[in-house]
Amino acid sequence: MDIFSKDILKELLPAETDDSLLEATARAGRQKPKGLLDHWSAAILLERAAYLRKLAKHGDGSASETLREYPSHCAMLLFRSRDGVAEVHENFADLFYVLDGRAAFITGGVVVGAESVGPGETRGSSVEGGARQELRGGDVAHVPAGLPHQMLVAAGQTVTCLVMKIQEKT
């Protein structure tokens, strides 16, 4: 396990947790001992986002990671320095908490060039006819299942979000 991952696990697990438990937790696919709550401080999320920023810089301008999966939702961290694609999730709502930066968020309307990319998942080039809302650090946006949406990031800007994907339909 790399040092960075070990530091994150030390932040997430209680202080009395020893290195052997950290290693076992990492090997178990981020599962933790029963009864411990999941907690990510803003500092840890932003530190992890700095790593995602580096990945995005050497990739396509966007990077994300799943922090934890649960039976009916998952927690993700997202960094963008470019526009996202238009998307619709048939069965999942997205709850965005903007940690840092700013973006325009388009919701509603119709996905242009819509293509199915998996069960209940549609992507396209843009959202046409939607409503525009500016998102900034500290803002929360809830996108119900079935609502087209797209995040737009202005040139020279970035946005970092904690995203909760919540199953609304089965």
Q: How many domains does the chain have?
A: 1
CATH for 90: 2.60.120.10
Q: Does residue 76 carry a pLDDT above 70?
A: yes
Structure pTM? Answer: 0.78
With beta carbons less than 8 A apart as the criterion, state whether 103 and 118 touch: no
Contact partners, residue 11, CB within 8 Å, separation at least 6: 40, 41, 44
- Considering the domain boundaries, does residue 42 fall inside one? no
- Considering the domain boundaries, does residue 139 fall inside one? yes
Structure tokens given for 120: 């209940």
- Considering the domain boundaries, does residue 50 fall inside one? no
Domain that holds residue 111: 60-167
Determine the average pLDDT of the residues in 96-125: 97
pLDDT of the residue at 36: 77
As a whole number, the mean pLDDT across the chain is 87
pLDDT of the residue at 137: 96
* 41-56 confidence digits (pLDDT tens): 999 999 999 999 999 9
